[in-house]
Amino acid sequence: MRIVLVGPPGAGKGTQAAFLAKNLSIPHISTGDLFRANISQGTALGKQAKSYMDAGNLVPDEVTIGMAKDRLDGPDTEGGFLLDGFPRNVHQAEALDAYLVERGIALDGVLDLEVPEDEVVKRIAGRRTCRNDSAHTFHITYKQPKVEGVCDECGGELYQRDDDSEATVRNRLSVYHRETEPIIDYYKQQDLVATISALGPVAEVTQRAMDALK
């Protein structure tokens, strides 16, 4: 299956993607995680991305689309993939379509996670992320680690992402409404969109997602 996951920052995309990718035996590809890995490794790509991310703005398309295509060209995408955080504007969606056409493949669905804005703010404010791997996320009330400040999965140190500060979150939400939401209409024209509520326990949301993708 080839799936795109859409939703505001903090909706639970990363959390759901981990379970869905496992259930469907496809790789979870998060452009945010790829950027953060590049930043922690000090690569040129990471240096290009950092100031945009810290301000809560989108990293320019020239950088992002190239990185996403390189990842999609990887050896593990033959059986499908779950894209999380890409595409994030209509230009990226068009670039992805062109790439898929070139490969002779197509998306199976776009899963749109819906969450009220006040819940998103609570989720982001309480999010704690592992320094070793930003796909390992916790929450100070909803998903506490066994030992405070320590990642259950790898023992790494948990911290609050720089872009999870209140001021940056506000900008990320407005960027989401302005730039990313239009891709939902873009994909509706291809009849690909399934919208589900991302409220409630993680396992319930995963079940809703699996039902929607059938």
Minimum distance from residue 8 beta carbon to ligand ADP (Å): 7
211 C-beta neighbours (distance < 10 Å), count: 10
Question: Does 212 interact with ligand ADP (rule: CB under 6 A)?
Answer: no
178 in catalytic set: no
Q: How far is CA 107 from CA 43, 79, 205, in A?
A: 31, 12, 21
Q: Pick the closest to residue 91 from 60, 114, 112, 69 (CA basis).
A: 60
Residue 139's DSSP bridge partners are 127, 143
Site string for ligand ADP, 39-68 (x = CB under 6 A): -------------xx--xxxx----x----
Buried b / exposed e along 86-121 (16+ C-beta atoms within 10 A): bbbbeebbebbbeeeeeeeeebebbbbbebeeeebb
Which single residue is written with the structure tokens 């960027």? 175
Q: Point out the catalytic residue in the list 71, 123, 128, 161.
A: 161
Question: Does 90 interact with ligand ADP (rule: CB under 6 A)?
Answer: no
Q: Is 10 annotated as a binding residue?
A: yes
Cβ proximity to ligand ADP, 176 vs 192, nearer residue: 176
User: For residue 183, with 0-12 CB atoms within 10 Å meaning exposed, 13-18 middle and 19 or more buried, which class applies?
Assistant: buried
Q: Which stretch binds ligand ADP (CB under 6 A): 21-29, 84-92, 146-154, 181-189?
A: 84-92
Cis peptide before 145 (omega within 30 of 0): no
Q: Is 7 annotated as a binding residue?
A: no
Which of 28, 71, 136, 172 touches ligand ADP by CB under 6 A?
A: 172
Q: Which residues are annotated as a binding site for ATP?
A: 10-15, 127, 137-138, 200
Task: Give the residue numbers annotated as catalytic, written as ranges.
Answer: 13, 88, 127, 161, 172
Contact residues for ligand ADP (CB under 6 A)? 7, 9-15, 31-32, 35, 52-53, 56-59, 64, 85-86, 88, 92, 116, 118-119, 122-123, 126-127, 137-139, 142-143, 163, 172, 199-202, 205
Q: Residues within the annotated binding site for AMP?
A: 31, 36, 57-59, 85-88, 92, 161, 172
